Structure 1
């Protein structure tokens, strides 16, 4: 069969090391029995090992050349090959509303978008594994007080336990990327309710990390504008002297509740 040409515009870097491909495929075993959806299978280097697992399994691929390759390679697998864009899919339709594991060798340029979609469908996706740019993996798994800790860290760790599993060298790809990769696993924690307004929580996290070097009393002023200027005493709260990377997820929840209470108070004035 003719090999698929890696396309720069799709961020394709095909994994060539079969041992690593098997190791990544085996990360889904932490969530046994659930169906699996693989994003961006390319020429199926991981797919061949995922197909061996005794559970429902589908792939979604945006590259039509890759879809044609997979259809030719595994004619019996054709009904499970979805030709389309994962970011535009209704995930409730993939396995008839059933929960599933998400995995893949994710394109670097859209990995964050994939994880934001995972968060939007967190009740459908109790487990997500796969390979991404090492820098992004470090962000996801980092702890408060570190340089890597940021928006992705807080939003994902609010709902998932994160594990940085192992690093992957550039030399095992064709073409080789310019950065190292890493394999991660995210497993839903026991949180069912954050204890705050989830929409406002996201807004607060994104707002303060967009000015991560500033104290919260400075960066939070962006939330209050026009006629909704916060009262001066709001900014005297002890937490306002901290910077965003110092806050745990629980403290971000508390901060969100403080912001909501202030928004409601100034709206009444």
Structure 2
């Protein structure tokens, strides 16, 4: 194995290489490996997590945009070489590899694109039954938070409409090279048994995003742009602020708006 300094962490890619083997093993063990035969690791870097994934009874693919990391992986993980995708995860059509089949996502995600990784996962949820990853701690906590919390917001509601979200553990800065300025957090998403929405999906996303853009206001005020009927606005749900609504209540609210606009 070539030494740790083979790949230089690049700031513009948000790279912070995990160097703690026990943390890497713990992340690899967080998935159940049930309901799919393939995994995609995002941003493997020098493969500290990859090596544990390769020991699992599943087929591991990795996607990496950094040429230097790709060269390192090809040189050090020969049994992985034909499953290294040198592409930008956010722009790449994953079905060129997975062809409609289910797969899990895992990784130590670059902080600067972690939310976008999550949104792409939500778009592909029919194929992604499980997701485990490292985020900035405050983002991980936000995704897993419940209504009533100060950090409950757009990411929480949209993710939990489709997945059960669990915050697993905190990772301190010193286990990375270079160390980030903040703590990291690992979370696990398990897709709900029924992940079909009882309302229009595009409208649901719009309602949630619009409501939280003015989170201190009541829904009656924050959702003014929807031109709701006076009759609907009289419903007591509109007395609430967005952070007071559970995911089921947001789905109910969207259904009410949907019916109102169809009248």
TM-score (normalizing by structure 1): 0.93
Matched-pair contact (CA < 8 Å) for 1:118–1:125: yes
List per-residue Cα deviations over 1:214-265 (Å, max 9, x = no partner): 00000000233xxxxx333322110000000110111111111121222223
1:201 aligned partner: 204
Matched-pair contact (CA < 8 Å) for 2:37–2:59: yes
1:213 aligned partner: 216
2:232 pairs with 1:245 = no
Gaps of 5+ in 1: 225-229
- 1:47 aligns with one of 50, 66, 71: 50
2:89 aligned partner: 86
2:141 pairs with 1:138 = yes
Q: Distance in 1 between matches of 2:35 and 2:126?
A: 17
Three-state SS of the structure 2 residue aligned to 1:156 is helix
- 2:100 aligns with one of 94, 97, 100: 97
Within 5 Å, which residues of 2 pair with 1:83-232?
83-224=86-227, 230-232=228-230
List per-residue Cα deviations over 1:124-143 (Å, max 9, x = no partner): 00000011111111011111
- 1:61 aligns with one of 49, 60, 64: 64
Q: Distance in 1 between matches of 2:188 and 2:195?
A: 20
Matched-pair contact (CA < 8 Å) for 2:132–2:189: yes
2:246 pairs with 1:263 = no
1:227 aligned partner: none
TM-score (normalizing by structure 2): 0.95
Q: Distance in 2 between matches of 1:30 and 1:214?
A: 43
Q: CA deviation at 1:100?
A: 0.6
Moved more, 81-90 or 201-210: 81-90
1:233 aligned partner: 231
Q: Distance in 2 between matches of 1:238 and 1:231?
A: 14
Matched-pair contact (CA < 8 Å) for 2:199–2:254: yes
Q: Distance in 1 between matches of 2:191 and 2:230?
A: 39
Q: Distance in 2 between matches of 1:223 and 1:42?
A: 45
List per-residue Cα deviations over 1:48-84 (Å, max 9, x = no partner): 1111112111000011111011111123321011100
Gaps of 5+ in 2: none
Q: Distance in 2 between matches of 1:171 and 1:261?
A: 52
Three-state SS of the structure 1 residue aligned to 2:69 is helix
1:5 aligned partner: 8
Matched-pair contact (CA < 8 Å) for 1:92–1:124: no
Three-state SS of the structure 2 residue aligned to 1:103 is strand
Q: Distance in 2 between matches of 1:4 and 1:61?
A: 13
Matched-pair contact (CA < 8 Å) for 1:91–1:121: no
